[in-house]
Amino acid sequence: MANCIVAQSGGPTSVINATIAGIVRANQMNPVYDKVLGGLNGIEGILNERFYDLTDMSEEENRILRQTPSSALGSCRYKLKRDNVADFEKLIKIMEKYDVETLFYTGGNDSMDTVAALSEYARSHGVTGRRFVGCPKTVDNDLMETDHCPGFASAAKFIATTALQTWLDVNVYTRQEVFILETMGRDAGWLAASACLSGHVDILILPEMDFDKEAFLKRVAECIAEKNKCYIVVSEGAHYADGTYIAAGEAKNDGFGHAVLGGAGKALENMILTTNTASRCKVQDLSTAQRCHASEQSLVDVTESFNLGMSAHMRSADGVFTGKMVGIRRKDGEKYDVEYFAIDADKVANFVKNFPKEWILPDMKGITEEGYSYLRPLIEGTPDIIMKDGLPAYVTPYYMR
């Protein structure tokens, strides 16, 4: 027998650790691997041989790990470039040194590219017995092939809940008021669209459509005329027809060459106030909290994230399972149910799954019934959260131990 590594990459989510918990649990049920090594800070830490042994995790720690947000193993923004042969060789050497057969990597489409690239490198260089398996995670829900991504539903639930609560808040005064909720979602509007589950979104602005300032201000004015209020939800990635982000003034860059957005809400507020379309406006940018507010995990989400980890582990027992991502498929039928399946990681890597245009109502009025049907079952259920001194109990990150 040999060992495996589990590691996490990219931005954390509220349920990303449940996938790790699932892999660890599966190995305790069927010890395919001698050791389950947590690779710390993703590829970056693995290349520096930083590991934490997760093999014998207790039941209690496993439960608490599942409810702990953010990446308990640490994350990285380090991308294995396909021409970086030195890193590839180094990684294979480290896998040989630690007798690691399988590397499980949780992440978004960049991470699936890493899985595909490593697998391809091994194949083309005659490296045998080293397998690379991807597990999807991203609050953005923008991965191809999988029905949805672990992490999305809990963020969606927090966003919808917050939309409902802030809508109640903004209505208490008789005065005129516009409220703008800004969500994450660089290229895909899934998170912003999920706010519609609150039932109270007047204007929804997604990256899937070109922003039209005139039409927007007209719609705000209509809402104000009708009820003296207007509740707006905007994705950080909202943009004009020419591709300019409406938050353009605020954009910075992250290490991956992606624009770090933020400020779309503020930009809308400025439009509304400077044109006197309304006299009062508040902006709530959900920022970091939306991807780590695990105290309100969706039970569906955390369960699927755990099960997906189990499925990945089980499939990896087959010695030729490599270059694959394990995804979630929604089964046909009235009642929501899913199954897990495997797909070549390169079919997922570097693509973006947008919120379907046919699910977007005209005039920024929200989403269609198909959209609701897709979203509703994902936020169902509330896990029992283990508390400590009034706060949720969380594991100490392994990279800090």
In this chain, which of 121, 179, 190, 374 binds its own copies, going by CB under 8 A?
179
- Under rule CB under 8 A, residue 291 binds its own copies: yes
In this chain, which of 49, 56, 169, 318 binds its own copies, going by CB under 8 A?
169
- Under rule CB under 8 A, residue 382 binds its own copies: yes
Residue pair 294/14 in contact (Cβ under 8 Å)? The answer is yes
In this chain, which of 124, 332, 389, 401 binds its own copies, going by CB under 8 A?
389
Would residue 389 show up in a list of annotated catalytic residues for this protein? Answer: no
Residues near its own copies (CB under 8 A), total: 63
In this chain, which of 19, 298, 305, 307 binds its own copies, going by CB under 8 A?
298
| C-alpha span between 78 and 148 (Å, rounded) | 24
- Under rule CB under 8 A, residue 285 binds its own copies: yes
Site for its own copies in 139-158 (CB under 8 A): 157
- Under rule CB under 8 A, residue 338 binds its own copies: no
Q: Length of the chain, please?
A: 401
- Under rule CB under 8 A, residue 376 binds its own copies: yes
- Under rule CB under 8 A, residue 398 binds its own copies: no
- Under rule CB under 8 A, residue 369 binds its own copies: no
> Of the candidates 59, 1, 53, which has an alpha carbon nearest to the alpha carbon of residue 25?
59
How near is the Cβ of 292 to its own copies at its closest, in Å?
A: 4
Q: Which stretch binds its own copies (CB under 8 A): 64-72, 123-131, 315-323, 343-351?
A: 64-72
In this chain, which of 69, 150, 151, 366 binds its own copies, going by CB under 8 A?
69
- Under rule CB under 8 A, residue 401 binds its own copies: no
- Under rule CB under 8 A, residue 171 binds its own copies: yes
Is the CB of 25 or the CB of 229 nearer to its own copies?
Answer: 229
In this chain, which of 32, 46, 170, 195 binds its own copies, going by CB under 8 A?
170
How near is the Cβ of 203 to its own copies at its closest, in Å?
A: 17
Q: Which stretch binds its own copies (CB under 8 A): 20-28, 114-122, 286-294, 350-358?
A: 286-294
Q: Which stretch binds its own copies (CB under 8 A): 67-75, 114-122, 135-143, 352-360?
A: 67-75
Amino acid at site 274: T
Is the CB of 234 or the CB of 294 nearer to its own copies?
Answer: 294
- Under rule CB under 8 A, residue 44 binds its own copies: yes
Binding mask 70-109 for its own copies (x = CB under 8 A): xx--xxxx--------------------------------
> What tokens does 276 get?
């006197």
Reduce the secondary structure of the chain to three states and give it as a string.
CEEEEEEECCCCCCCHHHHHHHHHHHHHHCCCEEEEEEECCHHHHHCCCCEEECCCCCHHHHHHHHHCCCCCCCCCCCCCCCCCHHHHHHHHHHHHHCCEEEEEEEECHHHHHHHHHHHHHHHHCCCCCCEEEEEECCCCCCCCCCCCCCCHHHHHHHHHHHHHHHHHHHCCCCCCEEEEEEECCCCCCHHHHHHHHHCCCCEEECCCCEECHHHHHHHHHHHHHHHCEEEEEEECCCEECCCCECCHHHCEECCCCCEECCCHHHHHHHHHHHCCCCCCEEEEECCCHHHHCHHHCCHHHHHHHHHHHHHHHHHHCCCCCCCEEEEEEECCCCCCCEEEEEEEHHHCCCCCCCCCHHHECHHHCCECHHHHHHHHHHHCCCCCCCEECCEECCCCCHHHC
| C-alpha span between 159 and 192 (Å, rounded) | 8
How near is the Cβ of 230 to its own copies at its closest, in Å?
A: 15
- Choosing from 113, 140, 142, 202, which is the catalytic residue? 140
> Of the candidates 319, 9, 258, 254, which has an alpha carbon nearest to the alpha carbon of residue 136?
9
How near is the Cβ of 321 to its own copies at its closest, in Å?
A: 28
Residue pair 88/80 in contact (Cβ under 8 Å)? The answer is yes
- Under rule CB under 8 A, residue 244 binds its own copies: no
List residues with catalytic annotation: 140
Q: Which residues are near its own copies by CB under 8 A?
A: 8, 12, 41, 44-45, 68-71, 74-77, 157, 160-162, 164-166, 168-175, 179, 197-198, 255, 282-289, 291-296, 298, 376, 378-382, 385, 387, 389-392, 394, 397, 399-400
